[in-house]
Structure 1
């Protein structure tokens, strides 16, 4: 995948958990609610229909404010790749104010380790800059650590 430095933000981490377990955490609402936003914020609702065109809906509570994030999956390769966007909602209805498309990949490194890559693609440089300024690297980095910790707890 060719990155555009004006439009794309990317986080790459090696996580100490198998990719199948990380994928399960990403695709199961009962798991996703535990790690998907930086604590102390939380996910208050999660509805996932993990297939191309299926809904990918979450609601976050951030400092007492509810933030809905509704979208659809564009591509699903079990245990390898998830692509979802808020550019559309279920039924391919265009969203009034799309923000980004996310591409998450899970590469098996052996020994129960995974190269985890999360890419946020934006429609224009201003949106990408706003996302970066909102704390993309710190926030998505914190979430990657929370994902790893949560997945390790499931292994036990």
Structure 2
């Protein structure tokens, strides 16, 4: 696996597995997903920022955020807002975060017409580096196809590249 490379695979037609090694200790990588001040600096694809990021980091707690396109070169996406809501199911710091991920509106109401995802993130200590394994489980193959057609894989690649750059600057 080369630097910045994401390994992706699909299991059972509806589970997307993404893996990447970050050159940073596990505790630091985990913290990037836990604290709003960090998430605001890297979450979302290139050209997007996070003006709203509220986190209640505990099982049953909610992560509600807004991504906004601030890159005029992204044409029709410029100025667009995309709201999301996560509901934490399990947290085992610094090994695992499990949450249900939803598209939502600014008030946190779930958009039932869009696919929801059960996300399991595993942070594996590689002695100074961290392997992140992200399993996104969808209700059906069609739901997975919907988000893939929306460019989710490119978005997560850009997002994790931004995380990698932030981790490099913090070391």
TM-score of the superposition, structure 2-length normalised?
0.79
**CA–CA distance in structure 2, aligned partners of residues 22 and 43 of structure 1:** 19
Root-mean-square deviation (Å): 2.2
Q: Does 1:81 align with 2:96?
A: yes
**Deviation (angstroms), 1:113:** 0.6
Long gaps (5+) in structure 1: none
**CA–CA distance in structure 2, aligned partners of residues 66 and 96 of structure 1:** 14
Q: Does 1:32 align with 2:39?
A: yes
Residues matched between the structures, number = 149
TM-score of the superposition, structure 1-length normalised?
0.86
Q: State the SS of the aligned residue for 1:85.
A: strand
**CA–CA distance in structure 1, aligned partners of residues 35 and 100 of structure 2:** 18
**Deviation (angstroms), 1:81:** 0.9
Q: State the SS of the aligned residue for 1:104.
A: strand
**CA–CA distance in structure 2, aligned partners of residues 39 and 72 of structure 1:** 25
Q: Does 1:148 align with 2:155?
A: no
Q: Which residue of 2 aligns with 1:134?
A: 150
Long gaps (5+) in structure 2: 1-9, 70-77
